[in-house]
Amino acid sequence: MGVLNCTPDSFSDGNNDNLKALILRAKQMVLHGANVVDVGGESTRPNASPVDVQEELARVIPVVQALTERDIPVSIDTMKAEVMQKAIVAGARLVNDVSALTFDSNSLYVVADTGVDVCLMHMQGNVKTMQTNPHYDDVLSEVLFFFEQRIEACVQAGVQTSAMILDPGIGFGKRLEDNLNLIANINVIKKTFDMPVLLGASRKSFLGAMTNSEVHQREIETAVASTVGIFCGADMIRVHDCFEHHKTALVASKLADAKIL
């Protein structure tokens, strides 16, 4: 999954360039191995300011339409039901919601009624508060319990279990040790729910905390985290640099396939 931020304030590659430039970037992602391009119009970095619905729609819908017209598979990264609905009409095939469909009560029914796939991500707190002294007694158990609740809510709303993808939410209300615990134990999430798992570790601050590297110098760290995640069962990685991490995914997948136990 390639990250296409249509925002001016994302932590790594904030961008509100013109439509032509965004289309070109998406094409390059696909050329470099991306299977889906994740279009987002509201930053979810720590302490990011919220964006109103109309502004978010103006940022993402023309992009979703343009990419769909070019047969580029699109996911929509949003917490808002109206943005989901209009992006799906414009051609988005997947809803990627960092709130796991909790932010907007209507989002459950948008996903159920349209039948699109949905990625449910774990986050402690909200975008404004998530990195303010996050704490867990047992991060893996608490994330598993959260997924149990959200899967049940989705099923009750009419979402098919076959449409769900789980994302442990690396960097979203997590300490360094929490992120490491979750990546190293993705296999437990897989075994518990028998659902695909998405890993989004690209360029995140916990990587820099271990190597003292700046945001745009974390590709090696991202590759290591992604490799371990894939080896432990991740089905998709969400990355900024599709060229480098397509190769990461290929090698890591071969290693995972070679496991005997």
Residue ranges of domains in the chain, CATH in brackets: 2-252 (3.20.20.20)
Report the share of the chain in percent with pLDDT over 70: 95
Q: How confident is the model at residue 14 (pLDDT cuts 50, 70, 90)?
A: very low
pLDDT (0 to 100) of residue 7: 86
pLDDT (0 to 100) of residue 50: 84
Cβ–Cβ under 8 Å, residues 77 and 48: no
Tell me the whole-structure pTM to 2 decimals. 0.93
Is the pLDDT at 220 greater than 50? The verdict is yes
pLDDT (0 to 100) of residue 130: 67
Report the share of the chain in percent with pLDDT over 90: 88
pLDDT (0 to 100) of residue 134: 85
Verify whether residue 93 is a known catalytic residue: no
The two tokens of residue 43 are 């930053």
Other CB atoms within a 10 A radius of the CB of residue 138 amount to 10
pLDDT (0 to 100) of residue 261: 78
pLDDT (0 to 100) of residue 15: 53
More confident residue, 186 or 131: 186
Chain segment 117-173, per-residue pLDDT in tens? 999 999 997 776 767 778 999 999 999 999 999 999 999 999 999 999 999 999 999
Is the pLDDT at 5 greater than 70? The verdict is yes
3-state secondary structure the chain: CEEEECCCCCCCCCCCCCHHHHHHHHHHHHHCCCCCEEEECCCCCCCCCCCCHHHHHHHHHHHHHHHHHCCCCEEEECCCHHHHHHHHHHCCCEEEECCCCCCCCCHHHHHHHHCCEEEEECCCCCCCCCCCCCCCCCHHHHHHHHHHHHHHHHHHHCCCHHHEEEECCCCCCCCHHHHHHHHHCHHHHHHHHCCCEEECCCCCHHHHHHHCCCHHHCHHHHHHHHHHHHHCCCCEECECCHHHHHHHHHHHHHHHHCCCC
Q: How confident is the model at residue 12 (pLDDT cuts 50, 70, 90)?
A: very low
The two tokens of residue 137 are 């007694």
Please report, for residues 41, 100, 180, 219, the alpha-carbon distance to residue 210 in angstroms, rounded to integers and kept in the order given.
30, 29, 11, 13
Of the listed ranges 43-52, 68-77, 195-204, 250-259, the one predicted with least confidence: 43-52
- Please count the residues of the chain: 261
With tokens 């414009």, the residue in question is 90
Is the pLDDT at 69 greater than 70? The verdict is yes
Catalytic residue among 25, 80, 86, 204: 204
The C-alpha atoms of residue 144 and residue 153 are separated, in whole angstroms, by: 14
Q: How confident is the model at residue 48 (pLDDT cuts 50, 70, 90)?
A: confident
Catalytic residue among 238, 247, 254, 259: 238
Verify whether residue 238 is a known catalytic residue: yes
Q: What is the dihedral of CA 175, 178, 184, 188, to 10 degrees?
A: -150
In sequence order, what are the residues at sequence separation of 6 or more whose Cβ sits closer than 8 angstroms to the Cβ of residue 161?
A: 151, 154, 155, 195
The C-alpha atoms of residue 207 and residue 204 are separated, in whole angstroms, by: 6
